[in-house]
Homo-oligomer: A and B are copies of this chain.
Amino acid sequence: MTENTPHDRGRQTPDPQRRSARAERAILDAASELIVEVGFARMTMEGIASRARVGKQTIYRWWPSKSAVVLDVFNHLTGEQTGEALPDTGDLAADLRTVLRATVDEFNDPTMDRIARAFTAEIQRDTELSQRISGLLVEPGSEVYKQRLRSAIDAGEVRADADLELAVELLTGPFLKRWLMRTAPLTHAYTDDLVDMVMRSLRP
C-alpha cells in the first residue's frame, strides 16, 4: 500500500519496509499547517517533527529536506506525481479540457487554496525557495504539457513551429492570474473557453 505513494521520488534513502502510513500522514499534515502559519523560511524539520509527534530522524528517513516534504504536501493535495504524463486520447483539446478542469477542482479546494497561497507568498520573498520549487514543481509541470503538445505536433493537431514553452504559459498563465488576483471564479466553462482560445493559436 505504500509502494505507490506520490512521494517516493526525491528521497535519498527510501525504505518502504519501515514506513508508517500514520506517521507519514501526520508529517505531511504538520508541514501543510506550518507553511500556512509560519511560512517556509521559518519552518524547520524540528518544528514539523514536534507537531507531527514523531522523531526528527523519522522525517529524515523519508525526506532529505523540508523542500522535499513540502513538495510532497503538494503531490498529496493534487493526488498526482510531479511529472506524471498528461492523458493522450489522440484529441489534444479534449485532453487539455480534462486536465484543466481537474486543476480547477484542485484550486477550488479550500485547503489547496490556503496552502498554495501561502506558498506563492513565500516564493516572492525567498528566491532560493523559488528556484528550488521551479526545478521541482514548475518545470516538471510544464514539461508534461510540452510532451503532450509534441505528441499533438506528430499527430498534425499542432503546427510544427509552435513555441511550446509559450503555449504552456498560455494554458496555465491566465488560470494563475485569475486565481492569484481573485478576479473571477475558476470554473470548467472558463478553462474550456481557454482551451478553445489557445487551440486557435496552435492549430496548423
Contact = CB atoms under 8 A, between A and B. Distances in A.
Interface of A: 117-118, 120-125, 127, 130-131, 133-134, 138-139, 142, 163, 165-167, 169-170, 172-178, 180-184, 193-194, 197-198, 200-201
A51 B163 CA distance: 48
Given A178-B169, A184-B165, A124 B134 contact: no
A7 to B, nearest CB: 22
A180 B176 contact: yes
User: At the interface, is chain A mostly helix, strand, loop or mixed?
Assistant: helix
Contacts of A197: 163, 166-167, 170, 201
A133 to B, nearest CB: 8
A172 B183 CA distance: 13
A122 B118 CA distance: 10
A182 to B, nearest CB: 5
14 contacts: A117-B125, A121-B125, A123-B180, A127-B182, A130-B181, A131-B182, A133-B181, A134-B182, A169-B194, A170-B173, A170-B174, A176-B177, A198-B201, A201-B201
A162 to B, nearest CB: 8
Given A121-B121, A166-B197, A167-B197, A177 B172 contact: yes
Given A123-B180, A172-B177, 17 more contacts: A117-B124, A117-B125, A118-B125, A120-B120, A120-B180, A121-B124, A131-B182, A134-B181, A138-B181, A165-B184, A166-B194, A169-B178, A170-B197, A170-B198, A173-B177, A200-B200, A200-B201
Given A173-B174, A173-B175, A124 B180 contact: yes
A127 B176 CA distance: 16
Contacts of A169: 173-174, 177-178, 194
